[in-house]
Amino acid sequence: MLASMKSLVKRYGEQTVVDQIDLDVIEGEVLGLLGPNGAGKSTTINMLCGLINADAGDVKLFGQNQSITNLEVRRGLGLVTQDITLFNELTVYENLRYVGGLYGLRGEALKNRVEEVLAFIELKDHSKKKPKQLSGGMKRRLNIGCALLHKPKLLIMDEPTVGVDPQSRNRILESVKALAEQGTTVIYTSHYMEEVEAVCDRIVIMDSGRIIAEGTVEELIKRTSHECVVNLTAMSPSPEMTKQLEAVSGVKHVILTGNKYTIVSGVDSGNINRITEIATQHGGIAGISEEKGNLEDVFLTLTGKSLREGDI
């Protein structure tokens, strides 16, 4: 087992943000860590990285006890932060060279590794530019490159595609797949369900500091095989309309994002006519469709929230 967390607890004052977590990370897998805002994902990652200590429980990484004082075990870790952490006065090449030096690479080994990483993140033609001259997607890829210089056994990627264009997102996802094929273990967090489905072998869902489900995409979707989803785009959504939809027979969850409703019902509830009727009474419908549950619906069913609910 590459990493293991047992009965992990973290409190801030009277608030328990991580509550008795048990989680193993298997060597060679891409593990998706999902949860709504405030679920405890970042705190869990920080304890795994040794940035903060747990209040109770144990964290083992590469067979050693992890803590804020164990600097040696961190050499096997790579962390891609959600916030881009680059040296703005250094070029792309110099950023990579500096970080490689921090991990003890020297001379020809350092030079060769920088060249390898430049090729991997597809920034060889931009190596003399400074971060301010790069697009958002290029900065993200450089951020990833800095975490790869020392060939970490475990790479943690925290929202690595935030704010990037679709082309850069696809490049980043392809890089995750390539790393997995090379044997790197990856923990991947994202607010984009399609990314998780595309790259992750196993998924863990957290809510309110606890793990509430884990499994492959197929295993998790089986949990909602007894449910269907109505996607409704309303002309004039309102709190009153939401209240009426929630009261419809068979409806389990109603989520409003902008003017789009996601309505989860028991399969064969036969309530789409009633849903349509309510929407018509409240200004009309711009679009409506019905489908079987997917991973997003699993998340909604388990947490009562959309994955991106509350995002800015």
Q: How many CB atoms within 10 Å of residue 273? A: 8
Query: What is the spatial distance between Cα 43 and Cα 198, in angstroms, rounded to a whole number?
Result: 25
Look up residue 239 and give its amino acid. P
φ and ψ of 239, to 5 deg: -55, -35
**Angle at Cα 144 formed by Cα 190 and Cα 146, nearest 5°?**
145
Q: What average pLDDT does the segment 146-151 reach?
A: 95
Q: What percent of the chain has pLDDT over 70?
A: 98
Give the residue among 273, 265, 270 at the shortest CA–CA distance from 300.
265
The per-residue pLDDT for 222 is 82
Residue 286 has pLDDT above 50, yes or no: yes
Share the mean pLDDT of the chain: 92
Q: Is the pLDDT of residue 293 over 80?
A: no
Give the dihedral sign, CA 180/185/186/187: positive
Q: What is the pTM of this model?
A: 0.82
Q: What angle do CA 251, 256, 260 make, to 5 degrees?
A: 100
- Cα gap 120→116, rounded to integer Å: 6
User: Any idea how long the chain is?
Assistant: 312
pLDDT tens-place string over residues 57-106: 999 999 999 999 998 898 999 999 889 999 999 999 999 999 999 999 99
Mean pLDDT calculated for residue range 123-149: 96
Does the pLDDT of residue 250 top 50, yes or no? yes
Cα–Cα distances in angstroms (integers) from residue 172 to residues 121, 186, 187, 203, 216, in the given order: 8, 13, 14, 19, 21
Contact 81, 158 (CB under 8 A): yes
pLDDT band with cut points at 50, 70 and 90 for residue 268: confident
pLDDT band at 308 (very low <50, low <70, confident <90, very high): low
The single-letter code of the amino acid at 252 is: K
Alpha carbon distance 36, 306 (integer Å): 7
Q: Rounded mean pLDDT of 157-177? A: 91
The tens digit of pLDDT for each residue in 217-240 reads 989 988 777 788 899 999 999 999
Interacting residues of 67 by C-beta distance below 8 A, sequence separation 6+: 50, 53, 59
Helix %, strand %, coil % for the chain, to 5? 35, 30, 35
- Write down all domains in the chain, each with its CATH number in brackets: 3-220 (3.40.50.300), 226-292 (3.30.70.100)
Query: What pLDDT does residue 310 have?
Result: 41
Q: Which residue has the higher pLDDT, 308 or 193?
A: 193
Max distance between CA atoms of the chain, in angstroms, equals 72
pLDDT at residue 312 is higher than 70? no
